[in-house]
Amino acid sequence: MLWKGLMVVTKSESPVVVVLSGSMEPGLQRGDILFLSLYSEPFIPGDVVVFQIEGRDIPIVHRIMNVHEKDDGKLAVLTKGDNNTVGDRGLYATRQMFISRKEMMGRAQVFLPHAGMITIWLNDWPWLKYVLIGSMGFFVIIGRDT
């Protein structure tokens, strides 16, 4: 219920994300947790946003480089990772030049440095999940009063 509540309050389908790569260094490090919101409009160059490209499983955390708002209110945004030399057009869908409002998951409002490293460790080393679950089970068994 807490997650659904955050979704309603922030208007974001994923109000909390972990930075998974080094593409935003030195500003954001791998493992930083970002809290997102879609409330504060308009998007401006320099905003750190999270977007999801259709057909890709993992959202991308990058900075807005250019914003074009058309007369009909449609948004066209070009993004780039701080640690990358070129814009993100190579990451977008085939023949997609910009991302639109529908791909935006949210704008970073607050971040917690390195607080999400456990998520990265569990993804990088799947055996660690079994060690943690086994350890919890062990402590439950030895902690029982018989």
**Which entry of 37, 62, 82, 145 is annotated as an active-site residue?**
62
In terms of DSSP bridges, do strands 33-37 and 16-18 run parallel, antiparallel, or are they unpaired? Answer: antiparallel
Given 57, 71, 82, 88, the catalytic residue: 88
Closest CA to 55 of 102, 11, 15, 94: 94
Q: Does 23 participate in catalysis according to the annotation?
A: yes
Give the C-alpha separation, 116 to 16, whole Å: 10
Residue written as token pair 């409330």 = 39
Other CB atoms within 10 Å distance of the CB of residue 110: 10
Q: Please, which residues have CB within 8 angstroms of residue 49's CB and are 6 or more apart in sequence? A: 43, 61, 62, 63, 64, 77, 79, 104, 105, 106, 107, 108
Catalytic residue among 12, 14, 21, 23: 23
**Residues annotated as catalytic (active site), given as ranges:** 23, 62, 88
